[in-house]
Amino acid sequence: MIRLHKSATLRMALAYTACLTLGVMGLWGGAFWTMRHAFQQQLDVDLDDEADRLLAEFRKGSTPALVGAVGSRVRLNTSDELIYALYDRKGQEIAGNLPHLRPRPGKYTMQFEDRDEGLDTIRVVARDVPGGLLLLVAADSERMDRIDRRMETSFVGALLGVLALGLLGAFLFARLLHDKLGRIALQAYAVADGAVSARMPVSDRGDEFDHLAVSLNHMLARIEALIANLRLVSGALAHDLRTPLTRLRQRIEDAADSCQEGRVQDELDRATREVEDVLGLFGAILQLSEVEGGGALQMQPFDVAELADRVAETYEPAFAEDGRRLGWLVEPGMTIVGSSSLIAQSLSNLLENASRHTPVGSEVEITLASGNGEVLLSVRDNGAGIDSADRARALERFVRLDAARSTPGFGLGLPLVDAVARRHGGWLELADARPGLRATMHLPCRGVSNGA
């Protein structure tokens, strides 16, 4: 049951109902005044017409004709809707049914004391007649009073109807919002209790609540992925650190045993390398977290072709020394806006990945081109490649496929490249090079220019 004093939606609906009621009252008041004014104008026209007809009788037969006409109308007017009177210059009634009235010429509303009904209100049209006479034609206010009462009754009925419908609509509106928001809140509590896979209900109507639910579901999916990554990182760290730390302990023990044999320096060098591996792991995790965390990056225009040339020239001697060939085909003069250090790190990761997972004698090629609104930075090798079923997993943190378990590394190289591409609004594609693997960074051409 909705608690009235705590329901914001009900309060807003009631406020809307109150505003609507005030608006209806204002409109009805304006309509009431306009209609009453129109009725009064029409009444004045009717009284003027009646006075004109009587004056026409006067022009036909002078005063006796006018007296006869007034008397005839008084006798025929059995409903008393109209009142007639003719006064001489002394204010004495010659004909009519208002003997005690002392009117003045003009058009106005006045009150007088009626012997039967008490104080009465009439609308008067009084005309001067040649010879010092005064002709009065009036209408009793009873007709206007009846119209007023009918309009007041209609107004009260309409106002009560608006209030009833408004209150009912306010309650139904508040109940609808309460139910919809309640379902969202229920799922939010479920997520807070640990059910991170819970999602907000989405209907087929596509209204504002569905848009809100879709946005929240997108946020919850992101949170679930981050939590899953956190769990994966925790487990992977525990697993991956165990081996180097165990080796480090063994190196230290060997160094202690080798004190008398003169091999302490060699063991300490090996221990240092193990520590460097651990530090490298933490450095890779930190860098990946910074890229995925959405922090500010130094985005500046840079020549990506020049960057690719520089990285390729740096790695070419190492590839040649290991018995592999590194080539590159770069479209010159291509400038993009981004983080040159992260793009260089990503290209280095792809080259190291290709060197680590290809046999001696393999060929690795860097290509840089643009097309379809994208900059394509690719590294292709002719090694064993990655099965299509494993390519999505290869982009996950700490995932090391069976073919890579015998090589050094922690499974963070490709995830970092993918994270960098996404921070630049792009993505990383792993495709079959037939033979081998083609890893392509798709970077959008926002802020991209090609110069000769």
Alpha helices in 193-207 (DSSP H): none
Report yes or no: 293 and 423 within 8 Å, Cβ to Cβ.
no
**Structural domain tally of the chain?**
3
Picking from 98, 114, 148, the residue at the C-terminal end of a domain is: 148
pLDDT digits (tens, 9 = 90+) for 343-366: 898 899 899 888 888 888 889 999
pLDDT at position 57: 81
- The answer to whether position 261 is within a domain reads yes
Helix axes 340-356, 413-423, angle to 10 degrees: 150
Sheet holding 334-338, edge to edge: 300-303, 334-338, 449-450
Same domain assignment for residues 393 and 327? yes
Burial class (CB in 10 A: 0-12, 13-18, 19+), 337: middle
Gap between the Cα atoms of 136 and 144, Å rounded: 19
Gap between the Cα atoms of 285 and 365, Å rounded: 28
Gap between the Cα atoms of 178 and 165, Å rounded: 19
pLDDT at position 60: 79
- The answer to whether position 197 is within a domain reads no
Q: Which amino acid type is present at position 239?
A: H
pLDDT band at 451 (very low <50, low <70, confident <90, very high): very low
Same domain assignment for residues 141 and 46? yes
Same domain assignment for residues 313 and 416? yes
Question: Which carries the bigger pLDDT value, residue 400 or residue 12?
Answer: 12
Give the other-Cβ count within 10 Å of 249's Cβ: 12
Same domain assignment for residues 272 and 310? no
Report yes or no: 316 and 326 within 8 Å, Cβ to Cβ.
yes
- Calculate mean pLDDT across residues 382-398: 78
pLDDT band at 440 (very low <50, low <70, confident <90, very high): very high
Phi, psi for 327 (deg, rounded to 5) = -125, 165
Residue percentage of the chain with pLDDT more than 90:
6
Give the other-Cβ count within 10 Å of 349's Cβ: 20
Same domain assignment for residues 247 and 315? no
Question: Which carries the bigger pLDDT value, residue 51 or residue 239?
Answer: 51
- The answer to whether position 26 is within a domain reads yes
What is the tally of helices (H) and strands (E) in the chain? 8, 13
Residue percentage of the chain with pLDDT more than 70:
78
Picking from 292, 318, 339, the residue at the C-terminal end of a domain is: 292
pLDDT digits (tens, 9 = 90+) for 187-243: 888 877 777 778 888 878 777 778 888 888 888 888 887 777 776 666 666 666 666
Nearest to 241 by CA among 290, 279, 268: 279
Tokens of 409: 């590394």
Tokens of 236: 């992977």
- The answer to whether position 55 is within a domain reads yes
pLDDT at position 80: 60
Question: Which carries the bigger pLDDT value, residue 320 or residue 205?
Answer: 320
Same domain assignment for residues 253 and 309? no
pLDDT band at 278 (very low <50, low <70, confident <90, very high): low
Same domain assignment for residues 382 and 357? yes
Report yes or no: 52 and 148 within 8 Å, Cβ to Cβ.
no
- The answer to whether position 179 is within a domain reads no
The mean pLDDT of the chain is: 78
- The answer to whether position 240 is within a domain reads yes
pLDDT at position 410: 62
Same domain assignment for residues 305 and 287? no
Picking from 102, 128, 148, the residue at the C-terminal end of a domain is: 148
- The answer to whether position 183 is within a domain reads no
Give the other-Cβ count within 10 Å of 35's Cβ: 13
Same domain assignment for residues 252 and 269? yes
DSSP for 310-354, please give it.
Answer: HHHHHHHHHHHHTT-EEEEEE-SSEEEEE-HHHHHHHHHHHHHHH
pLDDT at position 260: 54
Same domain assignment for residues 13 and 142? yes
> Residue 69, SS3?
helix
> Residue 5, SS3?
helix
- The answer to whether position 382 is within a domain reads yes
Report yes or no: 317 and 326 within 8 Å, Cβ to Cβ.
no
Alpha helices in 84-207 (DSSP H): 142-192
Same domain assignment for residues 306 and 431? yes
| CATH for 136 | 3.30.450
Same domain assignment for residues 106 and 238? no
| CATH for 422 | 3.30.565.10
* Structural domain containing residue 263: 208-292
Residue 450 in this model has a pLDDT that exceeds 60: no
Residue 409 in this model has a pLDDT that exceeds 80: no
42 to 21, 53, 296: CA distances (angstroms): 31, 17, 78
380 beta partners: 365, 438
Tokens of 268: 């300490």
- Element spanning 358, H or E: none
